[in-house]
Amino acid sequence: MNFILCSLNRLKKENNSIKKGGYCGKKRFIRKKSFIMVVLCMFFLSFFSLFSMAGANILGYREADGPLVLFDVDKKKVIEKIPWDKSLGSPVKFLKNGTQLFVSLTWAHFGIFDLKEKKIVAEYTLLKPPVPFPTDLQGYYALPELVPFADGERFAIIEELPDKEEAIVTIKKLGTNEVIRTFSFMVDGRYDKIYFSPDDAYVVVANRKQSQKLLYPSITFHIWSVATGKKVEEFCVDLNQKNWDFSVSDNATHIVSSYSYDKLNVSKNARFFRRINTRHAIEKFTISLDGTCVVTYIRSPKKQLKIFDVKTAKEVHEMPIKERYLYFMQFKPPAMKQDSDEPERREYWQMELQEKESDVIPQKMKVKVKMYGQEFYIPRLLL
Protein backbone atom coordinates (compact mmCIF):
# COMPACT_ATOMS: atom_id res chain seq x y z
CA MET A 1 0.00 0.00 0.00
CA ASN A 2 2.89 2.34 0.78
CA PHE A 3 4.39 1.58 -2.64
CA ILE A 4 1.17 2.63 -4.36
CA LEU A 5 0.94 5.89 -2.39
CA CYS A 6 4.59 6.69 -3.10
CA SER A 7 4.10 6.03 -6.82
CA LEU A 8 1.00 8.23 -6.94
CA ASN A 9 2.84 11.04 -5.14
CA ARG A 10 5.76 10.70 -7.53
CA LEU A 11 3.41 10.83 -10.53
CA LYS A 12 1.77 13.95 -9.13
CA LYS A 13 5.12 15.70 -8.53
CA GLU A 14 6.38 14.83 -12.01
CA ASN A 15 3.22 16.14 -13.63
CA ASN A 16 3.53 19.40 -11.67
CA SER A 17 7.16 19.77 -12.67
CA ILE A 18 6.38 19.08 -16.33
CA LYS A 19 3.62 21.69 -16.32
CA LYS A 20 6.23 24.32 -15.45
CA GLY A 21 8.50 23.33 -18.32
CA GLY A 22 9.67 20.39 -20.40
CA TYR A 23 9.09 18.77 -23.75
CA CYS A 24 6.31 16.45 -24.81
CA GLY A 25 8.39 13.28 -25.20
CA LYS A 26 9.74 13.49 -21.66
CA LYS A 27 6.23 14.10 -20.37
CA ARG A 28 4.85 10.96 -22.05
CA PHE A 29 7.82 8.81 -20.91
CA ILE A 30 7.53 9.86 -17.24
CA ARG A 31 3.77 9.35 -17.18
CA LYS A 32 4.09 5.91 -18.77
CA LYS A 33 6.83 4.87 -16.32
CA SER A 34 4.86 6.00 -13.27
CA PHE A 35 1.70 4.33 -14.53
CA ILE A 36 3.53 1.02 -14.95
CA MET A 37 4.88 1.27 -11.39
CA VAL A 38 1.39 1.84 -9.99
CA VAL A 39 -0.03 -1.14 -11.92
CA LEU A 40 2.78 -3.45 -10.76
CA CYS A 41 2.36 -2.38 -7.13
CA MET A 42 -1.40 -3.01 -7.28
CA PHE A 43 -0.81 -6.43 -8.85
CA PHE A 44 1.66 -7.54 -6.15
CA LEU A 45 -0.60 -6.19 -3.40
CA SER A 46 -3.61 -8.16 -4.68
CA PHE A 47 -1.44 -11.27 -5.17
CA PHE A 48 -0.12 -11.26 -1.61
CA SER A 49 -3.58 -10.56 -0.17
CA LEU A 50 -5.03 -13.54 -2.03
CA PHE A 51 -2.11 -15.69 -0.98
CA SER A 52 -2.57 -14.79 2.66
CA MET A 53 -6.33 -15.48 2.56
CA ALA A 54 -6.00 -18.79 0.70
CA GLY A 55 -6.70 -21.84 2.81
CA ALA A 56 -8.83 -19.98 5.33
CA ASN A 57 -11.91 -22.12 4.57
CA ILE A 58 -11.04 -25.82 4.26
CA LEU A 59 -13.90 -28.30 4.09
CA GLY A 60 -13.49 -31.88 5.21
CA TYR A 61 -15.96 -34.49 3.97
CA ARG A 62 -16.16 -38.26 3.59
CA GLU A 63 -18.25 -40.15 1.11
CA ALA A 64 -19.67 -43.64 1.64
CA ASP A 65 -16.77 -46.16 1.67
CA GLY A 66 -14.49 -43.37 0.44
CA PRO A 67 -11.49 -41.40 1.71
CA LEU A 68 -11.51 -38.30 3.89
CA VAL A 69 -11.25 -35.37 1.47
CA LEU A 70 -9.89 -31.93 2.39
CA PHE A 71 -11.21 -29.31 -0.05
CA ASP A 72 -10.01 -25.69 -0.18
CA VAL A 73 -13.13 -23.59 -0.68
CA ASP A 74 -11.16 -20.42 -1.51
CA LYS A 75 -8.95 -22.04 -4.17
CA LYS A 76 -11.74 -24.39 -5.36
CA LYS A 77 -9.52 -27.48 -5.37
CA VAL A 78 -8.88 -30.68 -3.40
CA ILE A 79 -5.86 -30.45 -1.09
CA GLU A 80 -5.57 -34.00 0.19
CA LYS A 81 -7.34 -37.36 0.20
CA ILE A 82 -6.74 -39.46 3.31
CA PRO A 83 -7.52 -43.20 2.98
CA TRP A 84 -10.25 -44.20 5.42
CA ASP A 85 -10.98 -47.73 6.60
CA LYS A 86 -14.12 -48.90 8.41
CA SER A 87 -11.99 -49.76 11.47
CA LEU A 88 -11.27 -46.02 11.91
CA GLY A 89 -14.91 -45.36 12.76
CA SER A 90 -16.99 -42.32 11.81
CA PRO A 91 -15.55 -38.76 11.89
CA VAL A 92 -17.26 -36.45 14.39
CA LYS A 93 -15.30 -33.18 14.78
CA PHE A 94 -11.95 -31.55 14.03
CA LEU A 95 -9.71 -30.97 17.07
CA LYS A 96 -6.64 -28.88 17.95
CA ASN A 97 -6.71 -26.38 15.08
CA GLY A 98 -7.50 -29.04 12.50
CA THR A 99 -4.55 -31.35 13.22
CA GLN A 100 -6.67 -34.13 14.72
CA LEU A 101 -10.11 -35.65 14.21
CA PHE A 102 -12.46 -37.01 16.87
CA VAL A 103 -13.97 -40.31 15.67
CA SER A 104 -16.74 -42.57 16.96
CA LEU A 105 -15.72 -46.25 17.07
CA THR A 106 -18.87 -47.54 18.79
CA TRP A 107 -21.79 -45.91 20.62
CA ALA A 108 -19.64 -45.63 23.79
CA HIS A 109 -16.07 -45.94 22.47
CA PHE A 110 -14.30 -43.00 20.81
CA GLY A 111 -10.85 -42.19 19.48
CA ILE A 112 -8.60 -39.40 18.18
CA PHE A 113 -7.25 -39.67 14.64
CA ASP A 114 -4.08 -37.72 13.79
CA LEU A 115 -4.20 -36.27 10.28
CA LYS A 116 -0.39 -36.22 9.89
CA GLU A 117 0.34 -39.70 11.23
CA LYS A 118 -2.78 -41.11 9.53
CA LYS A 119 -3.70 -43.30 12.52
CA ILE A 120 -5.64 -43.32 15.79
CA VAL A 121 -3.40 -42.06 18.58
CA ALA A 122 -5.80 -42.35 21.55
CA GLU A 123 -8.97 -44.25 22.51
CA TYR A 124 -11.53 -43.52 25.24
CA THR A 125 -14.69 -45.07 26.67
CA LEU A 126 -16.81 -42.06 27.56
CA LEU A 127 -20.44 -43.18 27.77
CA LYS A 128 -22.19 -45.56 30.13
CA PRO A 129 -25.01 -47.99 29.14
CA PRO A 130 -28.36 -46.20 28.63
CA VAL A 131 -30.74 -45.99 31.58
CA PRO A 132 -34.46 -46.72 30.87
CA PHE A 133 -37.06 -44.05 31.59
CA PRO A 134 -39.86 -44.62 34.16
CA THR A 135 -42.69 -47.08 33.57
CA ASP A 136 -44.95 -44.50 31.94
CA LEU A 137 -42.38 -44.28 29.13
CA GLN A 138 -41.48 -47.95 29.06
CA GLY A 139 -39.27 -48.98 26.17
CA TYR A 140 -37.79 -45.50 25.75
CA TYR A 141 -34.12 -45.21 26.67
CA ALA A 142 -32.31 -42.00 27.52
CA LEU A 143 -29.16 -42.19 25.40
CA PRO A 144 -26.97 -39.19 26.27
CA GLU A 145 -25.33 -37.14 23.53
CA LEU A 146 -21.57 -36.57 23.53
CA VAL A 147 -19.97 -33.44 22.09
CA PRO A 148 -16.15 -33.15 21.92
CA PHE A 149 -14.51 -29.75 22.40
CA ALA A 150 -12.20 -28.35 19.74
CA ASP A 151 -9.26 -28.01 22.16
CA GLY A 152 -9.05 -31.81 22.43
CA GLU A 153 -9.00 -31.65 26.24
CA ARG A 154 -12.71 -31.49 27.15
CA PHE A 155 -16.02 -33.00 26.14
CA ALA A 156 -19.66 -32.43 27.05
CA ILE A 157 -22.42 -34.94 27.80
CA ILE A 158 -26.02 -33.80 27.28
CA GLU A 159 -28.70 -35.74 29.17
CA GLU A 160 -32.43 -35.15 28.85
CA LEU A 161 -34.53 -35.45 32.01
CA PRO A 162 -37.62 -37.65 31.50
CA ASP A 163 -39.98 -35.90 33.91
CA LYS A 164 -39.07 -32.29 33.05
CA GLU A 165 -38.59 -30.17 29.97
CA GLU A 166 -34.97 -29.75 30.98
CA ALA A 167 -31.54 -31.04 29.98
CA ILE A 168 -28.26 -31.17 31.86
CA VAL A 169 -24.89 -30.38 30.24
CA THR A 170 -21.86 -31.86 32.01
CA ILE A 171 -18.40 -30.74 30.85
CA LYS A 172 -15.65 -33.23 31.66
CA LYS A 173 -11.92 -33.52 31.12
CA LEU A 174 -10.94 -35.93 28.37
CA GLY A 175 -8.91 -38.87 29.70
CA THR A 176 -9.75 -38.55 33.40
CA ASN A 177 -13.53 -37.88 33.13
CA GLU A 178 -13.13 -35.21 35.81
CA VAL A 179 -16.20 -32.97 35.98
CA ILE A 180 -15.27 -29.35 35.18
CA ARG A 181 -18.69 -27.67 35.07
CA THR A 182 -22.35 -28.62 35.06
CA PHE A 183 -25.32 -26.47 34.04
CA SER A 184 -28.89 -27.08 32.90
CA PHE A 185 -31.13 -25.36 30.39
CA MET A 186 -34.90 -25.28 30.03
CA VAL A 187 -36.86 -24.29 26.94
CA ASP A 188 -40.56 -23.91 26.17
CA GLY A 189 -41.26 -27.46 25.11
CA ARG A 190 -38.76 -30.28 24.63
CA TYR A 191 -35.69 -29.36 22.62
CA ASP A 192 -35.27 -31.10 19.27
CA LYS A 193 -31.64 -30.42 18.33
CA ILE A 194 -28.60 -29.04 20.11
CA TYR A 195 -25.20 -28.02 18.69
CA PHE A 196 -22.09 -26.39 20.09
CA SER A 197 -20.45 -23.56 18.17
CA PRO A 198 -17.16 -24.72 16.53
CA ASP A 199 -15.14 -22.66 19.04
CA ASP A 200 -17.10 -24.26 21.94
CA ALA A 201 -18.08 -20.86 23.32
CA TYR A 202 -21.87 -21.30 23.05
CA VAL A 203 -24.54 -23.98 23.03
CA VAL A 204 -27.36 -23.46 20.53
CA VAL A 205 -30.60 -25.26 21.43
CA ALA A 206 -33.41 -25.44 18.88
CA ASN A 207 -37.02 -26.55 19.20
CA ARG A 208 -40.08 -26.34 16.99
CA LYS A 209 -43.22 -24.44 17.87
CA GLN A 210 -46.48 -25.21 16.13
CA SER A 211 -48.39 -22.17 14.93
CA GLN A 212 -52.18 -22.05 14.56
CA LYS A 213 -51.92 -19.95 11.40
CA LEU A 214 -49.18 -21.95 9.63
CA LEU A 215 -49.16 -25.58 8.56
CA TYR A 216 -45.57 -26.07 9.71
CA PRO A 217 -44.01 -24.76 12.92
CA SER A 218 -41.25 -22.20 13.35
CA ILE A 219 -37.82 -22.82 14.87
CA THR A 220 -36.83 -21.13 18.12
CA PHE A 221 -33.10 -20.86 18.83
CA HIS A 222 -31.78 -20.47 22.38
CA ILE A 223 -28.10 -19.49 22.73
CA TRP A 224 -26.41 -20.39 26.02
CA SER A 225 -22.92 -19.39 27.15
CA VAL A 226 -20.67 -22.33 28.03
CA ALA A 227 -18.53 -20.19 30.35
CA THR A 228 -21.42 -18.84 32.47
CA GLY A 229 -24.18 -21.38 31.81
CA LYS A 230 -26.67 -18.56 31.15
CA LYS A 231 -28.88 -17.77 28.19
CA VAL A 232 -27.63 -14.82 26.13
CA GLU A 233 -30.09 -14.76 23.20
CA GLU A 234 -33.35 -16.19 21.85
CA PHE A 235 -34.97 -15.71 18.43
CA CYS A 236 -37.26 -17.43 15.91
CA VAL A 237 -37.06 -18.19 12.19
CA ASP A 238 -39.60 -19.56 9.71
CA LEU A 239 -39.87 -23.23 8.79
CA ASN A 240 -41.80 -24.69 5.90
CA GLN A 241 -41.12 -28.43 6.20
CA LYS A 242 -41.10 -31.25 8.75
CA ASN A 243 -37.50 -32.47 8.40
CA TRP A 244 -35.02 -29.78 9.35
CA ASP A 245 -31.53 -29.14 10.68
CA PHE A 246 -29.16 -26.23 11.35
CA SER A 247 -25.46 -25.36 11.48
CA VAL A 248 -23.56 -22.82 13.61
CA SER A 249 -20.48 -20.63 13.00
CA ASP A 250 -17.89 -19.45 15.52
CA ASN A 251 -19.34 -17.43 18.43
CA ALA A 252 -22.80 -18.44 17.14
CA THR A 253 -22.94 -15.21 15.13
CA HIS A 254 -24.27 -16.99 12.01
CA ILE A 255 -26.82 -19.82 12.03
CA VAL A 256 -28.04 -21.47 8.83
CA SER A 257 -31.24 -23.52 9.15
CA SER A 258 -33.70 -25.35 6.94
CA TYR A 259 -36.64 -23.47 5.47
CA SER A 260 -37.94 -25.81 2.76
CA TYR A 261 -36.59 -28.77 0.80
CA ASP A 262 -34.49 -26.46 -1.41
CA LYS A 263 -34.13 -23.25 0.64
CA LEU A 264 -32.06 -22.24 3.69
CA ASN A 265 -32.40 -19.39 6.18
CA VAL A 266 -29.27 -17.56 7.32
CA SER A 267 -29.44 -15.63 10.60
CA LYS A 268 -26.79 -13.11 11.63
CA ASN A 269 -26.53 -11.79 15.21
CA ALA A 270 -29.91 -13.31 16.10
CA ARG A 271 -31.68 -11.63 13.14
CA PHE A 272 -32.84 -13.04 9.82
CA PHE A 273 -30.20 -12.09 7.27
CA ARG A 274 -30.57 -13.98 3.97
CA ARG A 275 -32.46 -16.83 2.27
CA ILE A 276 -30.49 -19.13 -0.02
CA ASN A 277 -32.32 -20.89 -2.86
CA THR A 278 -30.45 -23.99 -4.09
CA ARG A 279 -33.26 -25.06 -6.52
CA HIS A 280 -32.58 -28.70 -5.59
CA ALA A 281 -33.41 -30.96 -2.65
CA ILE A 282 -30.82 -30.47 0.10
CA GLU A 283 -29.47 -33.57 1.89
CA LYS A 284 -26.78 -31.93 4.07
CA PHE A 285 -25.43 -28.44 4.65
CA THR A 286 -22.90 -26.63 6.81
CA ILE A 287 -21.68 -23.05 7.31
CA SER A 288 -18.06 -21.92 7.44
CA LEU A 289 -16.43 -20.93 10.72
CA ASP A 290 -16.47 -17.23 9.82
CA GLY A 291 -20.00 -17.38 8.39
CA THR A 292 -19.02 -16.25 4.89
CA CYS A 293 -20.13 -19.29 2.87
CA VAL A 294 -22.52 -22.24 3.02
CA VAL A 295 -21.84 -25.67 1.51
CA THR A 296 -24.77 -27.92 0.54
CA TYR A 297 -24.83 -31.57 -0.54
CA ILE A 298 -27.37 -32.36 -3.27
CA ARG A 299 -28.20 -35.85 -4.59
CA SER A 300 -30.67 -35.03 -7.36
CA PRO A 301 -30.45 -34.56 -10.32
CA LYS A 302 -26.65 -34.85 -9.85
CA LYS A 303 -24.69 -35.77 -6.73
CA GLN A 304 -22.62 -32.67 -6.02
CA LEU A 305 -21.45 -30.09 -3.49
CA LYS A 306 -22.58 -26.51 -4.00
CA ILE A 307 -20.94 -23.50 -2.36
CA PHE A 308 -22.98 -20.33 -1.77
CA ASP A 309 -21.82 -16.88 -0.71
CA VAL A 310 -23.74 -15.71 2.37
CA LYS A 311 -23.70 -11.99 1.49
CA THR A 312 -25.09 -12.41 -2.03
CA ALA A 313 -26.90 -15.77 -1.55
CA LYS A 314 -25.51 -16.81 -4.94
CA GLU A 315 -23.76 -20.00 -5.98
CA VAL A 316 -20.01 -19.57 -6.47
CA HIS A 317 -18.85 -23.14 -7.12
CA GLU A 318 -20.04 -26.72 -7.55
CA MET A 319 -18.20 -30.04 -7.41
CA PRO A 320 -19.43 -33.53 -8.39
CA ILE A 321 -19.59 -36.36 -5.83
CA LYS A 322 -19.18 -40.01 -6.84
CA GLU A 323 -20.79 -41.87 -3.94
CA ARG A 324 -24.47 -41.95 -3.01
CA TYR A 325 -24.23 -40.53 0.48
CA LEU A 326 -22.04 -38.12 2.43
CA TYR A 327 -21.33 -39.30 5.99
CA PHE A 328 -19.29 -36.33 7.21
CA MET A 329 -19.10 -32.67 6.14
CA GLN A 330 -17.48 -30.04 8.35
CA PHE A 331 -15.15 -27.05 8.05
CA LYS A 332 -11.61 -27.50 9.34
CA PRO A 333 -10.21 -24.78 11.67
CA PRO A 334 -7.14 -22.87 10.38
CA ALA A 335 -3.81 -24.34 11.48
CA MET A 336 -2.57 -21.06 13.01
CA LYS A 337 -5.84 -20.07 14.65
CA GLN A 338 -5.62 -18.82 18.24
CA ASP A 339 -8.78 -19.03 20.31
CA SER A 340 -9.90 -15.77 21.87
CA ASP A 341 -10.68 -15.45 25.56
CA GLU A 342 -14.16 -16.32 26.81
CA PRO A 343 -14.73 -12.90 28.46
CA GLU A 344 -14.36 -11.27 25.03
CA ARG A 345 -17.04 -13.57 23.60
CA ARG A 346 -19.40 -12.83 26.47
CA GLU A 347 -18.76 -9.11 26.14
CA TYR A 348 -19.64 -9.30 22.44
CA TRP A 349 -23.09 -10.81 23.09
CA GLN A 350 -23.70 -8.49 26.04
CA MET A 351 -23.09 -5.49 23.80
CA GLU A 352 -25.49 -6.93 21.23
CA LEU A 353 -28.21 -7.41 23.85
CA GLN A 354 -27.77 -3.91 25.27
CA GLU A 355 -28.12 -2.37 21.82
CA LYS A 356 -31.32 -4.35 21.14
CA GLU A 357 -32.92 -3.46 24.46
CA SER A 358 -32.14 0.24 24.08
CA ASP A 359 -33.53 0.25 20.54
CA VAL A 360 -36.82 -1.48 21.33
CA ILE A 361 -37.99 -0.50 24.84
CA PRO A 362 -36.54 2.02 27.32
CA GLN A 363 -35.29 0.59 30.61
CA LYS A 364 -37.84 2.65 32.61
CA MET A 365 -40.68 0.85 30.85
CA LYS A 366 -39.52 -2.65 31.96
CA VAL A 367 -40.24 -4.81 34.99
CA LYS A 368 -37.79 -7.39 36.30
CA VAL A 369 -39.37 -10.87 36.57
CA LYS A 370 -37.76 -14.13 37.76
CA MET A 371 -38.93 -17.36 36.12
CA TYR A 372 -37.38 -20.84 36.02
CA GLY A 373 -34.35 -19.56 37.88
CA GLN A 374 -33.68 -16.89 35.20
CA GLU A 375 -34.26 -13.13 35.29
CA PHE A 376 -36.19 -11.44 32.48
CA TYR A 377 -37.25 -7.86 31.67
CA ILE A 378 -40.90 -7.63 30.56
CA PRO A 379 -42.50 -4.45 29.21
CA ARG A 380 -45.02 -2.87 31.59
CA LEU A 381 -47.59 -2.76 28.80
CA LEU A 382 -47.77 -6.57 28.82
CA LEU A 383 -48.53 -6.82 32.55
Lowest mean pLDDT among 246-250, 291-295, 363-367: 363-367
Residue 165: partners with Cβ closer than 8 Å, 6 or more residues away: 186, 187, 188, 189, 190
Residues 244 and 355 in one domain: no
Hey, which residues does 369 pair with through a beta bridge? 376
Based on the domain organization, do 289 and 376 belong to the same domain?
no
pLDDT tier at 307, thresholds 50, 70, 90 = very high
Given this model, what pLDDT does residue 63 score?
83
- How many structural domains comprise the chain? 4
- If asked whether residues 333 and 199 sit together in one domain, one would say yes
* Lowest mean pLDDT segment, chosen from 5-9, 159-163, 342-346: 342-346
Q: Final residue of a domain: which of 166, 186, 206?
A: 186
The model's pLDDT over 265-277, given as tens digits with 9 standing for 90+, comes to: 999 999 999 999 9
- Phi first, then psi: give them for residue 246, nearest 5 degrees: -155, 165
Residue 321 forms part of a structural domain: yes
Distance, CA of 253 to CA of 242 (rounded, Å): 25
270 in the same domain as 200: yes
pTM to 2 decimal places: 0.72
Q: What is the structure's pLDDT at 47? A: 43
Q: Mention every residue, 6+ apart, whose C-beta is less than 8 A from residue 300.
A: 280, 281
Rounded Cα–Cα distance for residues 124 and 95 (Å): 15
Q: Are 313 and 221 part of one and the same domain?
A: yes
pLDDT digits (tens, 9 = 90+) for 33-91: 555 664 565 555 444 433 333 446 899 999 878 899 999 988 888 999 999 988 888 99
Q: Which domain holds residue 22?
A: 2-52
